[in-house]
């Protein structure tokens, strides 16, 4: 008699969730690049671009957080990294909100805090996306 153990594979993110996580990272990257452009040129419009990109990143990130909170009920089947994924998403969203408040100030007053926060938010969102998307495999369907 052969004993088999059915080990559940970690469930990947839903495709819509994967898209939204990727979009969030892309928007925060655009905000960082806009902050860098402002730091090099001092054209105020770059901080306006960064503010709008951060707002869009927060909107997408909020939807991703809703997906993550719904997914917490299946956290035991998603693997051990899912709680870290949710924590990184939450940290990126909170610091992104603080970054939006910093960017709401005058352009001169937003630097260098806005640039530093943009780097941190991008790194947190990128790490969350990396962890969340690392369970994707060819042919997986959630």
State residue 87's pLDDT score.
93
Q: What is the DSSP letter of 12?
A: P
pLDDT on residue 4? 66
What is the residue-wise DSSP string for 7-35?
PPPPPPPPHHHHHHHHHHHHHHHHHHHHH
Tell me the average pLDDT of the chain: 86
Q: Give pTM, 2 decimals.
A: 0.84
pLDDT in tens, 48-81: 999 999 999 999 999 999 988 888 887 666 666 7
**What pLDDT sits at residue 138?**
46
d(CA 89, CA 81): 12
Which regions in the chain score pLDDT beneath 70? 1-12, 75-80, 135-142
């Amino acid at each position: 008699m052969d004993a088999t153990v059915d080990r559940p594979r970690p469930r990947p993110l839903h495709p819509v969730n994967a898209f939204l996580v990727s979009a969030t990272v892309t928007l925060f990257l655009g905000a960082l690049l806009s902050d860098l452009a402002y730091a090099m040129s001092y054209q105020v419009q770059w901080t306006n671009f960064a503010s709008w990109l951060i707002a869009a990143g927060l909107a997408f990130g909020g939807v991703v957080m809703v997906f993550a909170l719904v997914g917490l009920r299946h956290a035991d089947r998603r693997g051990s990294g899912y709680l870290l994924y949710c924590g990184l998403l939450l940290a990126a969203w909170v610091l992104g909100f603080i970054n939006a408040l910093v960017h709401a100030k005058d352009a001169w007053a937003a630097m260098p805090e806005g640039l530093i926060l943009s780097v941190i938010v991008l790194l947190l969102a990128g790490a969350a996306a990396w962890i969340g998307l690392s369970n994707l495999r060819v042919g997986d369907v959630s």
